[in-house]
Chain A
């Protein structure tokens, strides 16, 4: 693999460092802003030359605003499939960003906290990522990109309807504010269904960890606003944050309840998971994720004390198939991956023999 590829595989994005508020339970906060360039048809109607124009205008604007010094801009076509998968696993591009006839591009800031998708669904999608339950800081990041580019580009905007997006579901603020939360307590106590129902009633949606149409894995949930019009950005951020904090409180109470009622069973499950991770010779991707999340729970419950959350967060990303291959800088089949994955986990958990 060439030196030129975006991002080396041995680090994780800064947003995955467990530094933000409540980052023991909320892994990350993300804000996405959708914008279209004035005068150019939306992607349903944009011809190749229009798509090229959007790419060229964006790249020029990035250069003019000094953003190319902070990060990388690449066309989708320039990236090999493995690298695309790698970026998907890192939540930098959506999972369905593939097999498209569109001329697409992606900008990623070096620390992976800010990114821009070009010609994905709207012409531009700005993304800000922060650690923990911190939507306001994620918004600041996305808005910084938005403001900088708006000094060069004119957006499709109507005073009545706000930012005009390809789907009316995003019109207005064009903003989707979401957080990724680990809710094993609510799932085990079978409270999750109740929570999901009330979330829907409050106008929020729940998705799998890799966005629309993906399943939830290891009790990780992505929760976001649905309404983008009629409320200001601040009001939406406040609303989602407030509801997020309520869920967080429920989760903490559920965990306390579980520890009180079934401490031995919980401890057993967590320490068994830890033992498997420290000793396994073969690990599939799903098994690794599930066990790592159980160990993560053990760390936040203060049961496991000799490993920190940063290590677990790092492993959650590096054990994903494409990330693993880029970490080891070699293409591997499934069997080879299972072996290397187990070796990597043992290395990180300090039990390498």
Chain B
């Protein structure tokens, strides 16, 4: 058996065709170890496309299993198997992976429909709080024109929420 062209000790197991500096085709016979150290992967090391896909899949499953909803402990892998989520918090916990799925399903990720009364109220309340702060600032700055405008808006929201 031929010896390795590089170390000249171990038996050559890999036959490699290379083009040298002069543009000439040279045949190199290398042993396993030298082939590895030179970064030339031998045929035994070549991954088939299927293997690569399988590894990728494994990686995704690992990722999906590690993505856990802090509230209900459902994993993203669980969701994928069931098509069902565990609790309302899952929507936040899985956001990054879930939103593309939602986009695909509905061609949108933004609700434009009904909002429960309670939610509108909550939104109004936070707005009222913000307006009150602005009003205070406007008065401090003696910008009475602005203050009057803010007061009018505030009045409107406050009567609506009584």
- Interface set of A (CB-CB < 8 Å, partner B): 36, 38, 40-45, 143, 147, 150-151, 154-164, 166-169, 171-173, 175, 227-233, 235-236
What distance in Å separates the Cβ of A113 from its nearest Cβ neighbour in chain B? 20
Assembled-state Cα–Cα distance A44/B80 (Å): 13
Q: Can you list 18 A-B pairs with a CB-CB distance of less than 8 A?
A: A38-B88, A42-B85, A42-B88, A43-B84, A44-B82, A147-B117, A154-B116, A158-B88, A159-B123, A161-B110, A171-B91, A171-B106, A227-B107, A229-B106, A229-B109, A229-B110, A230-B112, A232-B114
B105 and A168 form a contact (CB under 8 A):
yes
A161 and B109 form a contact (CB under 8 A):
yes
Pick from B105, B107, B112, B119: contact of A169, CB below 8 A: B105
Assembled-state Cα–Cα distance A157/B115 (Å): 8
Taking CB atoms, residues of chain B closer than 8 Å to A40 are 87
Pick from A147, A151, A160, A167: contact of B84, CB below 8 A: A167
What distance in Å separates the Cβ of A141 from its nearest Cβ neighbour in chain B? 15
B113 and A44 form a contact (CB under 8 A):
no
Taking CB atoms, residues of chain B closer than 8 Å to A162 are 111, 113-114
With known contacts A45-B74, A166-B85, A168-B105, A159–B116 Cβ distance under 8 A: no
Assembled-state Cα–Cα distance A209/B30 (Å): 71
Assembled-state Cα–Cα distance A227/B148 (Å): 45
Pick from A45, A167, A171: contact of B83, CB below 8 A: A167
Q: Which 3 A-B pairs have the closest CB atoms?
A: A230-B108, A162-B111, A156-B88
Assembled-state Cα–Cα distance A140/B106 (Å): 24
- What is the size, in residues, of chain B's interface with A at 8 Å between Cβ atoms? 32
Taking CB atoms, residues of chain A closer than 8 Å to B109 are 160-161, 229-230
Q: Which residue of A lies closest to B98 (CB)?
A: A168
Asked if B101 is at the interface (CB within 8 A of a chain A CB), the reply is: yes
Assembled-state Cα–Cα distance A164/B72 (Å): 15
Contact residues of A: prevailing secondary structure: loop
Taking A143-B114, A156-B88, A162-B111 as known contacts, 4 extra A-B pairs with beta carbons closer than 8 A to each other, sorted by chain A number, are A151-B117, A228-B106, A231-B112, A233-B113
Q: Which residue of A lies closest to B99 (CB)?
A: A161
Pick from A155, A161, A168: contact of B116, CB below 8 A: A155
What distance in Å separates the Cβ of A48 from its nearest Cβ neighbour in chain B? 15
What distance in Å separates the Cβ of A154 from its nearest Cβ neighbour in chain B? 6
Q: Which residue of A lies closest to B102 (CB)?
A: A168
Assembled-state Cα–Cα distance A17/B161 (Å): 42
With known contacts A41-B86, A166-B85, A233–B116 Cβ distance under 8 A: no
Assembled-state Cα–Cα distance A159/B113 (Å): 10
Q: Which residue of A lies closest to B87 (CB)?
A: A41
Asked if B152 is at the interface (CB within 8 A of a chain A CB), the reply is: no
A164 and B105 form a contact (CB under 8 A):
no
With known contacts A158-B91, A164-B91, A230-B106, A45–B98 Cβ distance under 8 A: no
Taking CB atoms, residues of chain B closer than 8 Å to A168 are 85, 98, 101-102, 105
Assembled-state Cα–Cα distance A36/B84 (Å): 13
Asked if B118 is at the interface (CB within 8 A of a chain A CB), the reply is: yes
What distance in Å separates the Cβ of A34 from its nearest Cβ neighbour in chain B? 12
